[in-house]
A and B are shown apart, each in its own frame.
Chain A
């Protein structure tokens, strides 16, 4: 069996909003193996963002287990979660989230600051060259196009050599050409370097470029590539047209 990067078992997430309990995730089980390129899709309100936050170690499940690259995340405290995020996860956001008025190489070096690395500039420059921005090291975000900004953000995500690249609607703010460029970088990183990429999107065209799609619906995960007929899918009546399946409760091989 390959090394499992994401291993989520029966994860639930319940928010308390005043007197009302909101169940954002109701028992999600999903796995991502090392080197996979997976898209997570689902309509808004489906629990997609909650799942992404949990995968990204920004949040912890109320119940259930999550192992990230072999580390049980459920019982870590805030500072340990911060260290895990720093070490194992590279984030790419829809809105880039670059710091204003800061040159590109410093943006990329930011995670290294918190990792306590010393050879920051060299490493940042190397990754920027890898995403084709070797000529833009000292440019500030305002001096870069949207596509270039997102490539800076990707470089920032890669600089700590994470186990997982987690991208949240990475093409959402880009025109189609820049979007294609960014998707091209993801694919290249995945194919050539074996980087595990998880992409959260509601755009079917973007999701289609992944090897596998996990659909989130009503707080449950369905694996679109591994369809098993199921009689009692929750939220059946609202389910999309395609035949819905739950991921097997007893764990599954891929």
Chain B
């Protein structure tokens, strides 16, 4: 008897028991759909997070001060004030680091920003004119801080989109006077919203000339005769030069700080490192979602085994009769295996269809700033389909074997 023959018998058997067939398939349908959608959501989130990180510029290095040691205990990274404005200038020196395109030091302070009766606690970042390009920012209105303002320690400020909205509502902030830590600043520009949430969102910060921030806002210390900076943002020529840029920056700073390797009092972090870290995290997250969905597929498989066992018991007489009229052991085995496989494959196909439907439905939704944009890969469809066939074969094998091993005399007598 051919496979095609078995398929015909199996399909006849399933059509004869439609409701039971559908209920059995349901487990597989849900399992397969869940696996595909979960993997899709994971991938979508990964892509969304990566896009967000990349919106800060991929060709970016962050140089941060190292940690201090206090009574032998190493403090947090960035706690030392070892990075200076002079370091930034050294990095920007033409020819010093060929892989470096632009350098933008920043100095962070917190301050209370007040406009008339409204106030907001914001991060105030002292920046240089390069900051705009290096961090890929756009102005919504007005101008950014220019070199003259930096040199003159002008009390001018550029507001992040959220800060502008909080303080001014719909009014135009340009030219208005605000107070930061009781120092009057004139608003000269507002940044376009960049999105992104959480601590460090550029929409929530106020930018002032770095010199002004150092001198007027929190009184930065000095190190080797130059004012401290919090971070030096380094834009590199292109992503391929990432490693070269890290090396060049490290070499220049090591020379300036008279340190080497392990005892460096600064660290260089590239945007690509952050991207990789995020990719690892979301990869684990995707795997986790997929594994949970996989369990539901397994449960679906057990459902198939359950129903197939019931089916074998219920059809004992049928099996006896088939054997009496000449079915061999292999024929019965094949019939039930094919039946289980047809159930799981059909369930798998429907599950794939449903997965696409669900992915389409939740495509527009978002969790926080991360939009759910499930991307269904061919590989996850293949994986789920193959897995469902495997589940059918595996969980169909025991009931099929039991059916094939029935003694025809007892089977025919079964009530």
Which residues of A are interface residues toward B (Cβ below 8 A)?
53, 56, 58-59, 78-79, 82-83, 85-87, 91, 93, 97, 99-102, 106, 110-111, 113-116, 156, 160
Are the CB atoms of A85 and B324 closer together than 8 Å?
yes
Indicate if B22 sits at the interface (CB-CB under 8 A): no
Are the CB atoms of B1 and A56 closer together than 8 Å?
no
Nearest 10 interchain pairs by C-beta? A86-B326, A114-B326, A101-B16, A111-B325, A97-B321, A79-B328, A82-B328, A58-B409, A114-B327, A91-B324
Are the CB atoms of A99 and B328 closer together than 8 Å?
no
The verdict on A97 contacting B16 (CB below 8 Å), with A79-B329, A85-B325, A156-B325 known, is: no
Which residues of the other chain, A, contact B133 by a CB distance below 8 angstroms?
Answer: none
Are the CB atoms of A79 and B412 closer together than 8 Å?
no
Are the CB atoms of A102 and B324 closer together than 8 Å?
no
Are the CB atoms of A114 and B409 closer together than 8 Å?
no
CB distance from A54 to the nearest CB of B (A): 10
Are the CB atoms of A113 and B409 closer together than 8 Å?
no
Q: Mark B394-415, 1 if CB is under 8 A from A, else 0.
A: 0000000000000011001000
Are the CB atoms of B16 and A78 closer together than 8 Å?
no
Which residues of the other chain, B, contact A106 by a CB distance below 8 angstroms?
Answer: 12
The verdict on A99 contacting B329 (CB below 8 Å), with A58-B408, A58-B409, A114-B1 known, is: no
Are the CB atoms of A83 and B325 closer together than 8 Å?
no
Task: Please give me the residue from chain B that is nearest to A111 by CB atom.
Answer: B325
Q: List 23 A-B contacts (CB under 8 A).
A: A56-B324, A58-B323, A58-B324, A58-B412, A82-B329, A83-B326, A83-B328, A85-B323, A85-B324, A85-B326, A86-B325, A91-B324, A93-B321, A97-B318, A97-B324, A99-B318, A100-B16, A101-B16, A113-B1, A114-B1, A114-B326, A114-B327, A116-B1
- Select which of A56, A58, A87, A110 is within 8 A of B322 by beta carbon: A110
Which one of A58, A100, A102, A160 has the highest number of Cβ atoms from chain B below 10 Å of its Cβ? A58
Which residues of the other chain, A, contact B50 by a CB distance below 8 angstroms?
Answer: none
Which residues of B are interface residues toward A (Cβ below 8 A)?
1, 5, 9, 12, 16, 317-318, 320-331, 408-409, 412
Which residues of the other chain, B, contact A59 by a CB distance below 8 angstroms?
Answer: 409
Which residues of the other chain, A, contact B324 by a CB distance below 8 angstroms?
Answer: 56, 58, 85, 91, 97
Are the CB atoms of B323 and A82 closer together than 8 Å?
yes
CB distance from B305 to the nearest CB of A (A): 23
> Given A56-B324, A113-B1, 7 other A-B contacts at CB below 8 A?
A87-B326, A99-B318, A101-B16, A111-B325, A114-B331, A116-B1, A156-B325
Which residues of the other chain, A, contact B5 by a CB distance below 8 angstroms?
Answer: 113
Q: How far is the CA of A56 from the CA of B321 in the complex (A)?
A: 12
Q: How far is the CA of A101 from the CA of B21 in the complex (A)?
A: 15
Which residues of the other chain, A, contact B320 by a CB distance below 8 angstroms?
Answer: 97
Which residues of the other chain, B, contact A91 by a CB distance below 8 angstroms?
Answer: 324-325
Q: How far is the CA of A87 from the CA of B322 in the complex (A)?
A: 13
Which residues of the other chain, A, contact B9 by a CB distance below 8 angstroms?
Answer: 113
Q: How far is the CA of A91 from the CA of B329 in the complex (A)?
A: 19
Q: How far is the CA of A59 from the CA of B411 in the complex (A)?
A: 13
Q: How far is the CA of A75 from the CA of B327 in the complex (A)?
A: 19
- Select which of A99, A101, A160 is within 8 A of B321 by beta carbon: A99
The verdict on A53 contacting B325 (CB below 8 Å), with A79-B330, A100-B16, A113-B5 known, is: no
Which residues of the other chain, B, contact A82 by a CB distance below 8 angstroms?
Answer: 323, 326-329
Which residues of the other chain, A, contact B12 by a CB distance below 8 angstroms?
Answer: 102, 106
Task: Please give me the residue from chain A that is nearest to B413 by CB atom.
Answer: A49
Which one of A83, A100, A113, A116 has the highest number of Cβ atoms from chain B below 10 Å of its Cβ? A113
Are the CB atoms of A102 and B16 closer together than 8 Å?
yes
Q: How far is the CA of A67 from the CA of B317 in the complex (A)?
A: 27
Task: Please give me the residue from chain B that is nearest to A90 by CB atom.
Answer: B325
Are the CB atoms of A114 and B16 closer together than 8 Å?
no
Q: How far is the CA of A91 from the CA of B324 in the complex (A)?
A: 7
Are the CB atoms of A78 and B325 closer together than 8 Å?
no
Are the CB atoms of B328 and A78 closer together than 8 Å?
yes
Which residues of the other chain, B, contact A85 by a CB distance below 8 angstroms?
Answer: 323-326
Which residues of the other chain, A, contact B323 by a CB distance below 8 angstroms?
Answer: 58, 82, 85
Which residues of the other chain, A, contact B412 by a CB distance below 8 angstroms?
Answer: 58, 93, 97
Q: How far is the CA of A87 from the CA of B328 in the complex (A)?
A: 13
CB distance from B269 to the nearest CB of A (A): 69
Q: How far is the CA of A78 from the CA of B323 in the complex (A)?
A: 10
CB distance from A119 to the nearest CB of B (A): 15
CB distance from B252 to the nearest CB of A (A): 83
Which residues of the other chain, A, contact B327 by a CB distance below 8 angstroms?
Answer: 82, 114
Q: How far is the CA of A86 from the CA of B322 in the complex (A)?
A: 10
CB distance from B255 to the nearest CB of A (A): 86
CB distance from A47 to the nearest CB of B (A): 14
Q: How far is the CA of A102 from the CA of B412 in the complex (A)?
A: 18
Which residues of the other chain, B, contact A99 by a CB distance below 8 angstroms?
Answer: 318, 321
Are the CB atoms of B321 and A78 closer together than 8 Å?
no
Task: Please give me the residue from chain B that is nearest to A84 by CB atom.
Answer: B326
Q: How far is the CA of A160 from the CA of B327 in the complex (A)?
A: 13
CB distance from A152 to the nearest CB of B (A): 12
Which residues of the other chain, A, contact B318 by a CB distance below 8 angstroms?
Answer: 97, 99
Task: Please give me the residue from chain B that is nearest to A50 by CB atom.
Answer: B409
CB distance from B5 to the nearest CB of A (A): 6
Which one of B326, B331, B409 has the highest number of Cβ atoms from chain A below 10 Å of its Cβ? B326
Which residues of the other chain, A, contact B325 by a CB distance below 8 angstroms?
Answer: 85-86, 91, 110-111, 114, 156
Which residues of the other chain, A, contact B326 by a CB distance below 8 angstroms?
Answer: 82-83, 85-87, 111, 114-115, 160
CB distance from A2 to the nearest CB of B (A): 26
CB distance from B330 to the nearest CB of A (A): 7
Task: Please give me the residue from chain B that is nearest to A79 by CB atom.
Answer: B328
Which residues of the other chain, B, contact A111 by a CB distance below 8 angstroms?
Answer: 325-326
CB distance from A106 to the nearest CB of B (A): 8
Which residues of the other chain, B, contact A83 by a CB distance below 8 angstroms?
Answer: 326, 328
CB distance from B335 to the nearest CB of A (A): 10
Which residues of the other chain, B, contact A58 by a CB distance below 8 angstroms?
Answer: 323-324, 408-409, 412
Which residues of the other chain, A, contact B16 by a CB distance below 8 angstroms?
Answer: 100-102
Q: How far is the CA of A17 from the CA of B277 in the complex (A)?
A: 69
